[in-house]
Structure 1
Amino acid sequence: MSRWDGIEAFVEVVKQGSFSAAAEQLNVSNSHVSRLISRLEARLGAQLLYRSTRKVTLTDVGRVYFEQCQHLLSGFLQAELSVSDMQTTPQGLLRMTVATTFGERFIIPLLNDFLAEHPALAIDVNLSNQNLDIIQGGYDLAIRMGILKDSSLIAKRIGPRRLFICATPCYLKQFGTPHTLSELQQHNCLIGSTDYWLVQLEGKLKEYRVKGRWRCNSGPALFNAVSKGLGLAQLPDYYVKPAIERGELRVLLDQYQPPQTAVWAVYPYNRHLSPKVRLFVDYLSQHLPKSLG
């Protein structure tokens, strides 16, 4: 058990950011935590942490070891939960965040259905177009779209998502149709939350910077602007696909269209053992439409 104690102490120090906070969480003394970490480093023959009076940070070796240790701890907790009724019963408060429009249209209806099936569950949902910090915000779960950049979280693909660059026939008749990315400089590119569009170039997914005289961090507002012929926009399928099928919008530069960037359920390592998170993510995977147009 001494080896396990060292691993548990190491993970807790990293999570809490200090020896004292980890000691408080583990209900042991600072010196005991320090001894456990020192013995662990001695046994491994490697320094895992940089220590200073203000903070504790991971070495390169420590970062790799930390990622593996999280899986070990998760496995240990899984073994304990496997004999508990809570393993199959979602209960307590489920806190989650999701982008406003996508959440209102797709996630909230499914969440309400899930809640009706599990009366012991309560929910707290933050609809926001900001990429909120799950750990700092105390969220159990986030639904995110596109390309994920935070590798410290667990991500499960729960649905498809495609992006389209488009404009109205009226706009194209007046200003011309771009056939290459460089020609976008001659057009008013309507900008949403970011000043770049995702494109596939030379077989790789890349961020292509665009410019224009219109910007708003709202998908519906961006769709309204492109629908009124104000310029070109890149939007997900669930905004534009019906308008494309009706001929109200035309798809442009489809040779650069990125592959499916997907819809993801994202959550911390210590949440994936929770029935409320695990079962709701499975529920979303089963019930989210296979096509979001």
Structure 2
Amino acid sequence: MMKWDGISEFVYVAEYESFTRAAKEMAISTAQVSRQVSALEKRLNIKLLYRTTRNVSLTEEGRVFYQHCRGVLDSLDAAEQAVSNLNSTPQGRIKLTVPVTYGEQQLLPLVNDFMMQYSDIEVTAFLSNQKVDLVEGGYDLAVRIGKLSNSTLMAKKLSKRTNFVCASPTYVEKYGIPHSLTELSKHNCLLGTPDYWHFKEATKERNIRVTGKVRYNSGYSLLDAALKGLGIVQLPDYYVQKHLEAGELVTLLDNYREPEEGIWAVYPQNRHLSPKIRLLVDYLAESLP
């Protein structure tokens, strides 16, 4: 059993980047956590953690060891759940990362509904449009949109989205409609972070560079500008759908609309998908439009 000594303590410290927080989560003393981790490092003859008065971080060896230890603990957790019939009453912590706007508008309300059904589930969500390292960050799950470039991740498709190019009727009446991609250069395009838009021309996907007087890193601010007739915008359906239905926006360049993008739940290959995670993923897949 000596091989298991300090493993849980090390994993908690790695995930919370704090001996004090790890001790609180494990309901033991900080001194005990420190002793166990130090003994583990001594037994392995490897430095797993960098320690300063303010920060705790993994060494390169620590990151490798953490990945394996996290997988082992997940497997043990799944084994305990299997023998205690916890599949019907899932419990424990789920840590996930989701895109900001899609998370706020679509995903987290569903996560809240999920938690209302399963009161023993705890959820920590980090909203970011950056692709964080799931293993290093100790995440059980991430939701990502579009093409998946990282082949080391497992994925399940949850839903899909469509990007629309649109403008207000006021703008169209004043400045006209672009009939081709080249005509976009004659219009004020409302830009987000990138300065190009996605299209499909014939069978090829194209990125078209656009220009304009507005650049916001906020989809809602771009939507507001479009509604007020300041220019043409390209935004996902969950921003513009109700405004299209209300006639407050009209779609443009429909023949060049890019194919639908997948919305995916992704998780590391070496991370066992525990019953509570699988249940959440299935719930999101069933509930998302």
TM-score normalised according to structure 2 size: 0.68
Structure 1's 266 and 204: CA in aligned 2 closer, same or farther, altered over 3 A?
farther
> How far, CA to CA, are the matches of 2:213 and 2:243 in structure 1?
23
The equivalent of 1:158 in structure 2 is: 158
Deviation larger for 144-153 or 222-231: 144-153
Give SS of 1:259's match: coil
Give SS of 1:262's match: strand
> How far, CA to CA, are the matches of 1:285 and 1:90 in structure 2?
18
The equivalent of 1:142 in structure 2 is: 142
1:167 is displaced (CA, Å) by: 0.7
1:97 is displaced (CA, Å) by: 1.6
Give 2:255's aligned amino acid.
Q
1:233 is displaced (CA, Å) by: 0.8
> How far, CA to CA, are the matches of 1:268 and 1:244 in structure 2?
38
Structure 1's 140 and 86: CA in aligned 2 closer, same or farther, altered over 3 A?
farther
1:87 is displaced (CA, Å) by: 6.9
Number of matched pairs: 225
Provide, for residues 6-62 of structure 1, a one-character-per-residue CA deviation record: whole Å limited to 9, x for no partner.
Answer: xxxxxxxxxxxxxxxxxx89x7678xxxxxxxxxxxxxxxxxxxxxxxx89xxxxxx
Task: State whether residues 166 and 232 of structure 1, in contact with CA within 8 Å, keep that contact through their aligned partners in structure 2.
Answer: yes
Give 1:155's aligned amino acid.
A
Structure 1's 279 and 272: CA in aligned 2 closer, same or farther, altered over 3 A?
farther
Give 2:174's aligned amino acid.
Q
Residue 103 of structure 2 corresponds to residue 103 of structure 1: yes
Structure with a larger share of its residues in strand: 2
Give 1:244's aligned amino acid.
L
> How far, CA to CA, are the matches of 1:244 and 1:187 in structure 2?
20
Structure 2: runs of 5 or more not aligned: 1-39, 47-59, 62-67
> How far, CA to CA, are the matches of 1:189 and 1:245 in structure 2?
22
1:155 is displaced (CA, Å) by: 1.8
1:232 is displaced (CA, Å) by: 0.9
The equivalent of 1:46 in structure 2 is: none
Provide, for residues 123-147 of structure 1, a one-character-per-residue CA deviation record: whole Å limited to 9, x for no partner.
Answer: 1112233333323332211222223
Written as runs of structure 1 = structure 2, the 5 A alignment for 1:1-293 is 81=79, 83-85=82-84, 88=87, 89-289=89-289
Give 1:281's aligned amino acid.
V
Give SS of 1:190's match: strand
Q: Percent identity?
A: 46
Give SS of 1:144's match: strand
> How far, CA to CA, are the matches of 1:280 and 1:160 in structure 2?
18
Give 1:257's aligned amino acid.
R
1:223 is displaced (CA, Å) by: 0.7
TM-score normalised according to structure 1 size: 0.68
Give SS of 2:148's match: coil
> How far, CA to CA, are the matches of 1:128 and 1:105 in structure 2?
14
1:237 is displaced (CA, Å) by: 0.8
> How far, CA to CA, are the matches of 2:215 and 2:102 in structure 1?
19
Give 2:277's aligned amino acid.
V
Give SS of 2:95's match: strand
> How far, CA to CA, are the matches of 1:203 and 1:86 in structure 2?
51
> How far, CA to CA, are the matches of 1:273 and 1:142 in structure 2?
12
1:84 is displaced (CA, Å) by: 4.0
Provide, for residues 220-269 of structure 1, a one-character-per-residue CA deviation record: whole Å limited to 9, x for no partner.
Answer: 11111111111111111111111112221111111111121022112212
> How far, CA to CA, are the matches of 1:212 and 1:147 in structure 2?
27
Task: State whether residues 271 and 277 of structure 1, in contact with CA within 8 Å, keep that contact through their aligned partners in structure 2.
Answer: no
> How far, CA to CA, are the matches of 2:134 and 2:266 in structure 1?
9
Give SS of 1:271's match: coil
